[in-house]
Amino acid sequence: MALDSLGELGRRSRAAARILAATTTAAKNDALCFAADALDSGRAEILVANAEDVARAEQSGATPTVVDRLRLDEGRLAEMARGLRTVAALADPVGQVVEGWVRPNGLVVRRVRVPLGVVGIVYENRPNVTSDAAGLCVKSGNAVLLRGSAGAIGSNIAITAALRLGVAKAGLPADSVLLVEDTRHETVREFVRLRGVIDCLVPRGGPALVALVVEQATVPYVVDGDGNCHVYIDADADFDIAERIVVNAKMQRPSVCNAMETLLVHRAIAAAVLPRLAAALEGVELVGDEATRAILPGVGVATETDFAAEFLGLRLAIAVVDDLDGALDHIARYSTGHSEAIVTRDYSAARRFLREVDAAAVLVNASTRFVDGGELGLGAEIGISTQKLHARGPMGLSELTSVKFVIEGDGQIRV
Amino acid sequence: MALDSLGELGRRSRAAARILAATTTAAKNDALCFAADALDSGRAEILVANAEDVARAEQSGATPTVVDRLRLDEGRLAEMARGLRTVAALADPVGQVVEGWVRPNGLVVRRVRVPLGVVGIVYENRPNVTSDAAGLCVKSGNAVLLRGSAGAIGSNIAITAALRLGVAKAGLPADSVLLVEDTRHETVREFVRLRGVIDCLVPRGGPALVALVVEQATVPYVVDGDGNCHVYIDADADFDIAERIVVNAKMQRPSVCNAMETLLVHRAIAAAVLPRLAAALEGVELVGDEATRAILPGVGVATETDFAAEFLGLRLAIAVVDDLDGALDHIARYSTGHSEAIVTRDYSAARRFLREVDAAAVLVNASTRFVDGGELGLGAEIGISTQKLHARGPMGLSELTSVKFVIEGDGQIRV
């Protein structure tokens, strides 16, 4: 059977989006709960399809990490279903009146949240993204057009089939959730150029995918970029808190974007605190600047590349800075604008850091690991934006909406 | 003297942006008022430079419209200065807490408005854009990098010099306002690819400029697109209101994006209302579908192209639709998502129209001409977005900001 062309899928997706935009919250919640039920009852088929994807990946010599991300089991499937039910329980952003006022001539003006329309997702071989993204998009009234990887295509087809069943059972268009089954590499380029079809593209992948989107996309997009996150230990820091946060930010889950990659320490306390922090970071490979290495002789040399790197692993760059200004300068130079933290008891240092650091999230006396939609209370997230337009930081349901001006009059004309 | 390279201008712009972001509202207001004073006192130099631009335009055979847009006089200059003082009087969006809450673990989370950083503007030969854009950007804490046209370069250099004088007098970096003086065509392409320098690009120009941005830009942008705006006269419309709004929407200023381009009329009242509307629209060239021409025999044939067109002049396409659904379908097919209006006394028709039409602005019983930052009460506008991401509809000061997460704790770590 020939695969549907992207143009045809786009047309169907837009038609579904128009219906979804005028759907009640109750119907959308039903759709999500029925989709969760369908994941539960379709468990056997999904696991069979996934086992084939996993076998292919193993045969082609994929790394254990890649295989692990790809592999589903009963527990992970149950978690995907639970995720859909959680999103069903969240507040619907659509229809929310963001602000409103009355003009001198009597016009009543409101700005009201509306769905974006069609949300496109390009992602790698994590089949759970298929249901997570579909749940968030449908709840916010958007049709979702999914473009997963070739390596997970069997799993994605099986998961999408279940989701579509649930959505249709609630009386919504099955095409609210559509998967691009043609996973040839060329279709990514075509996908990111579906202008007029995709209202918002969320690329979920590494730097190569982001670069392709920035260069080639003609559709609006939100970039979920790198996180070169810093923790700065101020002269007036509480050392216990500093140790706790540094260990948590680096070691609790080193492979994610909100983990710390560079530690900055105020010169006045460097000799006192660095040995203690280094001991607590046992198992982490440390590299440092000259001042750090004078205090911690065993530590390797940190290069420019280290200070610019998102290691995503158990490696940490350390620099000693003269003062808060030194820390701010270092961060302004190397930060990717994701999450930046200061540990201090000094009120004015905290205030300046919060104000002057240019990042999606700035923290005082808390681990960078909190910069996550769930942890911050958004309920769920579709990604973490490192750009400044539209959304910045963790993106929840509200960030999957736009706002329209609703203007009511009784015959006003402009003079 | 060699012109500064774009890279060098970008570096200076970013340095200014970092300082501006942490500047008080009072200093920014001073900067705008001093800049207005400098426009007043630099009047003679600016008018001399402008006269040279105008002479060059006339010699090269520019149309009267183009020359008119380019030409400054004492009145227009005074209006530019007044515009800066008006923006100084508006509320500063920077620092506004959009929302905030406390997490169960005690973390205090706020989302706070912050400047975007560097705003890039590409524009055509209207020298007033130079000061209007600079005023809005500086007030919202952004450095502005201006790339005007070759035809207005003398005027732009003179205006920018005055603005920089005023900004510097307030103690802000003169580089808060920077003009690209190299107006060769190639620099536009280079400009829209200043990724890492420009945080938000606002292209102000026609379809060719928008197409170049969509194809070539690597920086984030907000498109100020076409307005193919519709007014739909429902079966239950008040004919007096209908006539007033139709005339205003089409004729009050036909050359702008929020003017009506297509009139839709419910079949049940078409024969009763169309002759009256046609008479009121005297001077407008009417083209219509078959049903319209059966009622108004003198009217020309409206083609597909007419229904899709933004005439920006005294021409109007008319279609008779079977009912509200017919109107919604027509609009869904041809609308550019700018401004769409219904005239009706029927509550449920108004409700459906407001909900189901997908546009930046939807209006009941009011002229499309109100969709404008000043008219809606935003104080001023940098453009009207026809895209859904970031900003939609008239963009004021708030739309020149981003939001950052500010997270305060007392040692919280993620478990």
Whether residue B1 is predicted with pLDDT greater than 70 in this model: the reply is no
Mean predicted confidence (pLDDT) in B12-30 = 96
Q: List the single range of A77-86, B38-47, B54-63, B201-210 with lowest mean pLDDT.
A: B201-210
Helix (H, G, I), strand (E, B) or coil at A271: helix
How is residue B175 written in tokens? 């580089």
Confidence class of residue A3 from pLDDT cuts 50, 70 and 90?
confident
Segment B13-39 shows an average pLDDT of 97
Nearest CA in chain A to B367: A413
What is the model's pLDDT at position A207?
86
Average pLDDT, chain B: 95
pLDDT band at B205 (very low <50, low <70, confident <90, very high): confident
* C-alpha distance from residue A176 to each of A121, B108, B314 (Å): 13, 37, 41
Helix (H, G, I), strand (E, B) or coil at B361: strand
Res. B89 pLDDT band, cuts 50 70 90: very high
Whether pLDDT at B97 is above 50 = yes
Q: Do the chains contact at A364 and B409, CB–CB below 8 Å?
A: yes
Interface ipTM: 0.93
For A97-135, the three-class secondary structure string (H helix, E strand, C coil) is: EEEEEECCCCCEEEEEEEECCEEEEEECCCCHHHHHHHH
B373 HSE (CA, 13 A, CB side): 20
Q: Which pLDDT score, from 0 to 100, does residue A225 have? A: 82
Q: B225 pLDDT exceeds 70?
A: yes
Which residue out of B386, B407, B408, B410 would a mutagenesis test of the A interface target, given it has the greatest number of A Cβ atoms within 10 Å?
B407
pLDDT average, residue stretch A34-59: 97
Q: A211-241, pLDDT tens digit by residue?
A: 999 999 999 999 988 899 999 999 999 999 9
**Which residue among A215, A220, A369 places its CB closest to the CB of B387?**
A220
Top pLDDT among B77 and A256 is at B77
Distance of residue B234 Cα from the nearest chain A Cα, in angstroms: 14
Name which of A322, A218, A308 is nearest A268 in CA terms.
A322
Of the candidates A214, A247, A359, the beta carbon closest to that of B404 is on: A359
Q: Which residues contact B395 (CB under 8 A, 6 or more apart)?
A: B202, B222, B373, B378, B381, B382, B383, B384, B385
**Mutation target among A193, A246, A402 for the B interface, most CBs of B within 10 A:** A402
Share of chain B above pLDDT 90, in %: 91
Q: Which two tokens stand for residue A364?
A: 């005082």
Alpha carbon distance, N-terminus to C-terminus of chain A: 61
pLDDT tens sequence across A375-385: 999 988 899 99
Nearest-CA residue of chain A relative to B354? A406
| Contact: A405, B360; criterion CB under 8 Å | yes
CB within 8 A of A44, min separation 6: which ones? Answer: none
- Confidence band of A265 (pLDDT split at 50, 70, 90): very high
B218 CA to chain A: closest CA distance, Å? 5
- Largest distance between two CA atoms of chain B: 79
pLDDT digits (tens, 9 = 90+) for A308-353: 999 999 999 999 999 999 999 999 999 999 999 999 999 999 999 9
| Contact between B366 and A409 using a beta-carbon 8 Å cutoff | yes
Which residues 6+ apart lie within 8 Å of A2 measured at CB?
Answer: none
Q: Does A413 touch chain B (CB under 8 A)?
A: yes
Tell me the nearest-neighbour CA distance from A296 into chain B, angstroms: 25
CA B381 to CA B140: how far, in whole Å?
A: 12
Is the CB of residue A371 less than 8 Å from the CB of residue A393?
A: yes
Interface membership of B22 toward A (CB under 8 Å) = yes
pLDDT single digits (tens) B336-378: 999 999 999 999 999 999 999 999 999 999 999 999 999 999 9
| Helix (H/G/I), strand (E/B), else coil: A248 | helix
- Averaged pLDDT for residues A107-129: 95
Q: Please tell me which of the candidates B215, B240, B403 has its beta carbon nearest to residue A218.
A: B215
Q: Is B300 a residue whose pLDDT tops 60?
A: yes
Question: Within 13 Å, how many C-alpha atoms sit on residue B48's CB side?
Answer: 5
In this complex, the residue of B240, B361, B402 whose CB is nearest that of residue A405 is B361
**φ, ψ dihedrals at A273, nearest 5°:** -100, -30
Q: Which residue has the higher pLDDT, A16 or B206?
A: A16
Which domains does chain A possess?
Answer: 6-223+393-407 (3.40.605.10), 229-375 (3.40.309.10)
Does the pLDDT value for residue B196 go beyond 70? yes
CB atoms within 10 A of CB A186: 8
**Does residue A205 register a pLDDT over 90?**
no
Judged by CB atoms closer than 8 Å, whether chains meet at A411 and B362 is answered as no
Q: Write out pLDDT tens, residues B241-270.
A: 999 999 999 999 998 899 999 999 999 999
pLDDT at A1: 46
CB contact under 8 A, A408 and B220: no
Which residues of chain A from 322 to 381 reach within 8 Å of chain B, CB to CB?
332, 350, 354-356, 358-367, 369-371, 375-377
CA angle B23, B162, B89 (to 5 degrees): 45
pLDDT in the model for residue A199:
95
CA distance B31 to chain A (A): 21
Report the run of H or E that residue A48 belongs to, with start and end. helix A43-59
CB-closest option in B240, B367, B371 to A405 = B371
Q: How far apart are CA B162 and CA B152, in angstroms?
A: 16
Question: What average pLDDT does the segment B306-320 reach?
Answer: 96
Task: Inspect the interface and report whether the beta carbons of A407 and B364 lie closer than 8 Å.
Answer: yes
pLDDT category of residue B2 using cuts at 50, 70 and 90? low
Residue A2: what pLDDT?
A: 60
- CA A278 to chain centroid: 31
Say whether pLDDT at B123 is over 90.
yes
Q: Does B215 contact A at CB distance below 8 Å? A: yes
- The letter for the amino acid at B182 is D
- Do the chains contact at A356 and B22, CB–CB below 8 Å? yes
Looking at residue B265, its pLDDT comes to 98
What does the DSSP 8-state code read for residue A400? G
